[in-house]
Structure 1
Amino acid sequence: MKHLINIDNGGTLTDVCVWDGDQFSFTKTLTTPFDLSECLFEGIAKASANLYDERDLIRLLHEADHIRYSTTQGTNALVERKGPSIGLLVEDPSVIDAMQSDDDHSTLFADLIGNRVETFDLSDDELEFSLVQTVNKLTTDGAARLVVVGRDAESERTVRNLLLRNFPRQLLGSVPVLCSWEFVKDANDARRGWSSVVNTFLHPVMERFLYQAQSRLRENKVTNPLLVYRNDGASSRVSKSVALRTYSSGPRGGLEGTAALARSYNLAHVLMMDVGGTTTDVGVVDRCTIDTQRRGRVGEATISFPMSSVHSSGVGGSSIISVRDGRIVVGPRSVGAAPGPACFGLGGKDATITDVKVLLGILDPETYLNGQMHLDAARSRAVITSTIAEPLGISLEEALIRMEDAYLDTMAETFRDLVQEDTTLAAFGGAGPMSACGAAEKAGVKRVLIPRMAAVFSAFGISFSDIGKTYESSISENTRDSLQRNYDDLLHRAERDMFQEGYALDECQMKWTIEEHDANGEVLASRDYENGEEVADSGHNLMLCLDVKKVLPHADLAANDSVDTSEATSTGTRTVRVSPDETQDLPVYVLEDQIPGATAAGPAILEGPFFTARVTPGWTFTVTSNGDLIITDER
């Protein structure tokens, strides 16, 4: 087989993982927020150097069967509220209250929509005039995009036609209008409204980059399309993807990898902690099954689509640590890749945990990112002194200890409520391993698993992805003819879409289900469905669903074998500050130099490929037969 290129684009770093059917090769590069296609192609070029001993971007692009891409840009945009101002136009005024059903939804409503919300009445004799006035008001108030939520699809079409009649097309092109029923068919108005609003908010972030990347691929005469990895674990080409399905897609890759780890190590309950530059993403794998919700949540909003249960918090390696009201606060704002932490030397003026770890001695400025970037400790010292130590009236040394403690507290809060007695914390992402033991200790977790590929683990998890689509259709009446019409319609749509993906439907796997919904669109029951069968009339609304996928070759993790333990080999020591008044010389272990079964007790520093792990006192690490790390609290 040819290569499969998997890319996870984060706010600070972009990870590339290439599989040749047997082995993985991986690398990292700085994210380029001014042009995300730049870091994508730079990452692939760096990966080509690992494969061919010289950079040959064109060769790798042409030897790749598929390029699968996920991004946290949507997640980061929502966490940091960086997106267009949304204007909301609703037919039923009660929808406005329903979309603000609790404090979380109200906060999101205020941040994304604010006062840019108006109603319309189809029975209004002056409807056309009032719509023009309403849209003018919304755009004057700053709405850059409009979402229409009507009682049904016909109401929304009426509004759209009137807007097209009264506004120049160039205006509606610069202020796009999304009709909620066109986007998703969900009887729950508030949920449908939130799905449309969040998709509209995320769309610009994705649109610019994805089509730009496709254009560069065409310039290099690459015929295989760029595939977008989605939050349901499948992939599809850019033109067949929607922005909302990219939200938390990177963490879904991490969950797929975590499920593979759970199978390999026979772990009952695993919490994924994926720590990037801007966010920490937490999800659950229970009995090797990814925890999912039929009606997912994006940030604080409940949406219409299924999603893995991932919670994203604004705490990462580049999260800004500041002083507010006399206390140290972590995130949710991030310095991202540009300017990045102060120690990157790119103009950063805010303190981050990366700066703290450099000054504590945990990160070696000479070996960061496998030596690809030198960190400037002097810049970290200056920034932390001016933004933390001096405002609090404390020494730099005390500031460092208090900042790390605040960071670990904030991180522990992201998963504390999910901890069970048999929980294992799988920590990865570039910033995960260096804080995993400290956060686990605060949350009451006794075992931490750090994969060898921790730094690119979400990109690795994408290797379990297939090309797929999901469809659903509301059954207007429970009759054989109605079911058959809906069945044929979904089959036709799937056949068309998979053909556009490059595959015939008979090459694909299909799974049909029938769902019973209440009047509010909540799922009451779900079961497999075969064409032609009669469905007993329960008095509930019916939804026919189809999941179709073309299975691609997958990587597989070997089962963990028992191995004889031996003393781990240290390559030296590193001076680490452990209190405001004390430093210790801790042994440093290079993961690639250890044999399976190698073990040692903390405190210690472990250097892996593109990551640094800190083993705290009372914890012991062991290298598994797969080359991963299991760190256990022995107290």
Structure 2
Amino acid sequence: MSRYLVACDAGGTMTDVIIVDEEGRSVIGKAPTSPQDESIGYMESFWEALEYMGISKDEGQNFGASVETAIYTGTSMLNTVINMSGYKTGIIVTRGFEDIISQGRGSQTFIGAQWSEITHMQYRRHRTPLVPSQLARGVTERIDMFGTPVIPMYEDEVREGARSLIADEKVEAIAIIFLQSFVNPAHENRAAEICREVMEELGQEVVLEVSNKVAPTTREISRANATVIQAYASDPARKQLYRIEEELAKTGYAHSLKTVLGYGGITNIRYPRLFEAAMSGPVGGLMGAKYLSSVIGEENIVCSDVGGTSFDAGTITAGVLPIDREPGFQDMYVNVPMLGITSIGAGTGTYIRVDPQTNRIKLGPDSAGGTPGPTFMEAGNTTPTINDVNLLLGILSETNYLGGKVKINKAVSEKLFKERVADPLGMDIYDAAETCLELLNVMMREHLVNSLMVGHDLREYVLL
């Protein structure tokens, strides 16, 4: 019996499923991403891929039994952080460090910036924190650098803080971050036990993460950021992966679903530190580009991926994959090895608005995604997107969107873009559309030149 590999790249807008046989032959299915239940978009793409193999949906009901491995890569967790759409998260920290997330490190304000921007304070700004200071609770405790408890943990403060966050603030996740817990986790582990007791008393269950299990290394701010991302974004992503695995099991797939980690490894979706897979989609692309570089004989490659929600880019220099031990991730430092990939909120689903104060075009950073999608899909979105511009300019085909399987309405795009963008700017609709597209290209070009390629000669690289 033939064996197959099923791989998936799920972006914020479209989901692609690639099926590869033992001879290396492949087919690709594509469907809109369904963010509320990614298994829907995944399976639609899966069935379409089987159609290209000449296998109908009825005939493919047991196809999963022939699948050796199914691997998921995607940017759903990354997009959760970019769009600030994760769990409402609170933190319990060593007293005096309640602002550890909102304050961060000074250098976080110029991650990827040029020297001219770094030396001018007016260019610096902190990102919107995933955990605002009002959702932080301080606890009196201290463990020294050798792991010796020098101030016992005040358990009543932990209990009071947990009760306040769960009952009053209605948080959906709690991250516990104490100083030096990577040397001695006793205080953090006891605090976690108390939080679970409070949950039981209140009859409410929230996600609970402790930093000594998420990122047990030095540098408390990077450890705190990693723990908060794990609490904020990983649980929604894991639930989606479980749903995909369940749907694959219905086709006879007998193994666990795998995903790609930020440093190139592959793991089971039950891996406890799932935030390490936040960049799984772009990482898979960069690893593929590394293989391609050896095939085409190009050692210096700039790899870029324009998705529906984000623009991801990385470089391969002298045939070597870049890896960062403490990378900047969405203007935060995190304690996890990661291939050198940077992302901005710029894609084909990016919203286009006109700022009423300045009368200037504002792109994103939020996106329509695959649901509701661009206005031409008539699925509830009334804010123009870059894909509406692509349709107006003839870059997208009105009759062959997703191979003609999805019907679209160009008149809707034209009407809403004229009302929301062109008329307020006093511009012709096609001039305004071309301006929006050029502005997006400028954003991506500036990201490559001023962030990714600082210190490199662009003339020595090939753009992929």
* TM superposition score category, shorter chain reference: 0.7 to 0.9
Instruction: Trace 1:26-175 onto structure 2 (pairs within 5 A).
Output: 26-55=28-57, 56-91=59-94, 93-94=96-97, 96-97=99-100, 100-102=104-106, 104=108, 107-108=126-127, 110-122=129-141, 127-139=154-166, 140-151=168-179, 152=181, 153-165=185-197, 167-169=198-200, 171=202, 174-175=205-206
Task: Specify every segment of 5 or more residues in structure 1 that has no aligned partner in the other structure, as ranges.
Answer: 427-635
Write the mapping of 1:544-623 to structure 2, written as runs, cut at 5 A: none
The answer (yes or no) to whether the contact 2:89–2:130 under 8 Å persists in 1 is no
Could you list the per-position Cα deviations for residues 464-523 of structure 1 after superposition, in whole angstroms to 9, with x for gaps in the alignment?
xxxxxxxxxxxxxxxxxxxxxxxxxxxxxxxxxxxxxxxxxxxxxxxxxxxxxxxxxxxx
SS in 1 for 2:302: strand
Displacement of 1:340 in angstroms is 0.5
**1:402 Cα deviation after fit:** 1.5
Partner of 1:227: 258
Contact 1:7 1:17 in 2 (8 A): yes
Within 5 Å, give how 1:179-218 maps onto structure 2: 179-218=210-249
CA change 1:85–1:364 in 2 (3 A) is: same
Displacement, 1:108?
Answer: 4.1
1:423 is the counterpart of 2:461: yes
Q: Are residue 371 (structure 1) and residue 404 (structure 2) matched?
A: yes
Contact 1:44 1:57 in 2 (8 A): no
Q: Secondary structure at 1:282's aligned position in 2?
A: strand
Q: Per-residue CA shift, 1:107-137, capped at 9, x if unaligned?
A: 3463433421122113889923332222233
Deviation at 1:368, TM superposition (A): 2.5
State whether residues 60 and 251 of structure 2, in contact with CA within 8 Å, keep that contact through their aligned partners in structure 1. no
Q: 1:171 to 1:270 in 2, by over 3 A?
A: farther
Offset, 1:227? 1.2
- Say whether the 8 Å CA contact 1:268–1:422 is kept in structure 2: no
What CA deviation, in whole Å up to 9, does each residue of 1:226-254 have, x standing for no partner?
A: 11222222222222353312211100111
d(CA) in 1 for partners of 2:152 and 2:19? 62
Match of 1:396 in 2: 429
Structure 2 contact 64–254 (Cα < 8 Å) conserved: no
Structure 2 counterpart of 1:63, which letter?
A: S
Q: Does the CA contact (< 8 Å) of 2:39 and 2:240 recur in 1?
A: yes
Distance across 2 between alignment mates of 1:103 and 1:26: 42
Shift of residue 415, structure 1, vs aligned partner: 0.8
Counterpart contact for 2:386–2:437, Cα < 8 Å: yes
Where 1:159 maps in the other structure, the secondary structure is helix
Alignment of structure 1 residues 200-279 onto 2, 5 Å = 200-240=231-271, 242-279=273-310
Is the CA contact 1:297–1:309 (under 8 Å) kept in the aligned structure 2? Answer: no
Instruction: Write the letter of the residue equivalent to 1:80.
Output: N
Residue 186 of structure 1 deviates from its aligned partner by 0.4
User: Conserved in 2, the CA contact under 8 Å of 1:85 and 1:113?
Assistant: no
Match of 2:420 in 1: 387
Aligned residues: CA RMSD: 2.3
Contact 1:81–1:112 (8 Å) recurs in 2 = no
8 Å CA contact retained: 1:148, 1:179? yes
Secondary structure in 1 aligned to 2:69? strand
CA contact (8 A) 1:202 1:243 kept: no
CA distance in 1, matches of 2:128, 2:89: 10
Cα distance per residue 1:320-357 (max 9 Å; x no partner): 01111211121111011111011223232111121112
Structure 1 90/210 Cα, relative in aligned 2: closer, same or farther at 3 Å?
Answer: same
Q: 1:156: how far off?
A: 0.9
Q: CA deviation at 1:284?
A: 0.9
Rounded Cα–Cα distance in structure 2 between residues aligned with 1:133 and 1:416: 49
The amino acid that maps onto 2:402 is L
Unaligned runs of 5+ in 2: 110-124, 142-149
Change (3 A) 1:224 1:129: closer
Q: How far apart, CA to CA, are the structure 2 residues paired with 1:313 and 1:170?
A: 42
Cα deviation, residue 92, structure 1: 5.4
Shift of 1:279: 0.4
Q: How does 1:221-370 map to 2 (within 5 A)?
A: 221-240=252-271, 242-324=273-355, 325-370=358-403
Looking at structure 2, the residues matched to 170 and 48 of structure 1 have their Cα atoms a distance apart, in angstroms, of 50
Q: What's the CA shift string for 1:518-540, capped at 9, x where partnerless?
A: xxxxxxxxxxxxxxxxxxxxxxx
State the partner residue of 1:584: none
Please state whether the residue corresponding to 2:30 is helix, strand or coil. strand
Conserved? CA contact 2:62–2:252, under 8 Å: no
Amino acid paired to 1:135? A
Q: Secondary structure at the match of 1:5?
A: strand
Distance 1:200 1:108, change over 3 A: farther
Q: Which residue number corresponds to residue 617 of structure 1?
A: none
Distance 1:326 1:163 in 2: 49
**Helix, strand or coil: the match of 2:458?**
coil
Greater alpha carbon shift after TM alignment, 122-131 vs 48-57: 122-131
**Does the 8 A contact of 1:323 with 1:329 survive in 2?**
yes
Query: Partner of 1:19 in structure 2?
Result: 20
Alpha-carbon offset, residue 289 of structure 1: 2.0
Separation of aligned partners in 2, 1:289 and 1:44: 33
Q: TM-score, normalised by structure 2?
A: 0.85
Instruction: Give the residue type in structure 2 aligned to 1:402.
Output: T
Provide the C-alpha distance between the structure 1 equivalents of 2:291 and 2:193, rounded to a whole number of angstroms. 50
Cα–Cα, structure 1 residues 20 and 125, in superposed 2: closer, same or farther, change >3 Å? Answer: closer
Question: Could you say what secondary structure the match of 2:126 adopts?
Answer: helix
Q: Using the alignment, how far apart are the partners of 2:131 and 2:423 within structure 1?
A: 36
User: 1:316 aligns to what SS in structure 2?
Assistant: coil
State the distance in 2 between where 1:378 and 1:367 align.
16
Q: Deviations over 1:298-326 (max 9, x none)?
A: 21121111001111111001000111121
User: Which residue number corresponds to residue 117 of structure 2?
Assistant: none
Q: Which amino acid aligns with 1:54?
A: S
Amino acid at match of 1:423: Y
Which structure has more strand as a fraction of its residues?
1
Rounded Cα–Cα distance in structure 2 between residues aligned with 1:126 and 1:244:
28
Which range is displaced more, 111-120 or 268-277? 111-120
